[in-house]
Structure 1
Amino acid sequence: MAASSASVPATLPAKRKRAPVSRYIDDADLERVDDSAYGSGSDVEADEVEDEELPDGDSVYGSRKKSSKTNTRKSKAKKRSKFTPSRPKKPQKPFEFMSLPAELRDYIYELALVDPERITVVSKTKAYRRTVARGAISDNGNGFYSGRSRGYHRRRYINLDDDEDVDESQEPELDPKQLIPALLAVNKQIRAEATGYLYQQSIILEDTMALHTFLAAIGPANRPQVTDLTIRAWGTGRGTHKAMNVAALTLLSTCTSLKSFNLDCEIGWLREPKNLARQLYRDGHYFFEAYGAANGNKDAAVEVLALNEWNFDRDHYYNYRKSASQLPQPEEFKVKFQTELRKLLGC
């Protein structure tokens, strides 16, 4: 039994029957095949097939020599795909400025609207209209204006005198800080929060004409925000510049929050304390009375008013008709001047 079982061969599994596949394709079949089928259904890309003839009987199904026209068209399509524009980026959300803390917003307002070196304003003409702009203001070398013609001062502003000695050791003046007042036009809340930063800083004006134009330009809504003004020239003569003294101080009557009003200039000729007080009261009684009424004290404007020391200096006696010895000392001059002005205001 053992010998007979060893001689019997093991049974082999039956082979899977397959349909016969022909490796040869007729020319008629090739003509019916669409060119696009080879690019999508074949494992071999059309561009990767080498441009050479295959031997008879060894041609691979799905591969044949492509025309140069088809290859050129596909290569151009690949090149175009490299320069396909990217998808548009999603729109970014606007920055929520008002969500910042109040302290940080105030810091931004200060950077955008405050000039640490003070703002200087000069008169300009734009499109045949009188206006003002930021600009440099120079004096006549003595620290104040001496009441000379406006043309003389305009020449000093733009430095047309080339013969003037220039001290090369001095550092050149830097351009003024660029402010951004357009920030106030963003919305009402920013305007309410930031207006004070622009107007509640020291503002130096060229003369009373610049003061009048400046106050007219900012409007009655912003005038109560002004707190510190300096005038560098007083109008003199018999023309428009002298008339601007009254007009400018009349508009100033709406600036009821002033804390400093400095007349850093020569107010006419040197005169006695009473005459100087009467001159200022004649030109600015609207301002003195309105400021006193708004602050609950008739002589409140006297406390914020400051004059250049030249108006009290007896050494300028050449502008005084009498002897300089008849004028009081500067401190006594100030006291008499303020006393007379208070008397005119009805204190």
Structure 2
Amino acid sequence: MPLKSSTHRIGILLFPEFSFSGLGCLLDPLFIVNWLAQETRFEWSLLGIEPTVPASNGVPIAVETEWPAPSEFDTVFVLASFETKAFRSDRQISMWLRHCDTAGVRLVGIEMGVDVLAAAGLLDGHRAAVHWDNLEAFQELYPKIEPVSELYNLSGDRMTCAGGTAVIDMMLAWLVTKIEVALVDTLRDHLLERRQRRSDAKQLSHAPEHHVATSAQMRRLVRMMHQTLESPLNAKALAEFVGLSVRQLERRFRKEVGLSPKQYYLKLRINRAHRLLQQTDLSVSDVAVSSGFTSQEHFSRTYRRFFDCAPSEDRIQSRDAPVFPVSRMWAEKGSC
């Protein structure tokens, strides 16, 4: 294809265990646009620290390790999915991204790529679309950034995306600002993507309380539990909140949720602790307090019962790390 002088130059920085599907959702629209236009509207370079970067599904991707000068790019996408803590303090990465910013390059974070940009101080004062599973940890780490549970956010010289299939929605919204609308419409046809989602569309189709409870009364209680994980209420306070006796609440809650209020509350708190341990550098004691445990010993004992490992042994979020067990939790581990 002929190369136009107005060709948009893209750098794609990949981190180990990035989302393979996310990369596809990014590249396929660009390739199809070039194909439809019969000229190179977009060209891209894959960048990484090592010559080969493994995706989260194990597929190795060859990349350039000698990164071009930032002035060689118009836009740089940063893709990461699992463990990014090792790269937060990498001065070389942060410096290169800051040089990109200084050179007027638009920076885009996808999934945990948002975390990489945030760690470099490049999202301070911005709204950032953050994957729901990383939201709590992100709030703890970056108080100068406003995380939002939207699919993507196109904010000035920054773009952020929560990941998953939302990458295609973001790309379509971005491409409308770069090429002819008619070409984007044809692209949608080829992608079979006629219902592009808005940037402010919610990531989850339901609120947590709708997923676990059927009555408005119990949904209100579940919502309140989510909001008080650092300072959990006792059984009496929970019952008073919904105007029931402790015994009535126990019976109603177990009927709708399948767990006692205490069990469900603990499940939420342990899940929060699990995310903070894997996604932040907070100390184990700080994670315990943030999850509503006044005793670190009790926290460690409870955590081990859920995950068969101590909190201190669960500090990396990777394919091999423990995953929060949802379905078989209480059948296998027993109640608390």
TM-score of the pair, normalised by structure 2: 0.27
- Select the structure of larger CA radius of gyration: 1
TM-score of the pair, normalised by structure 1: 0.26
Structure with bigger RCO (C-alpha 8 Å, 6+ apart): 2
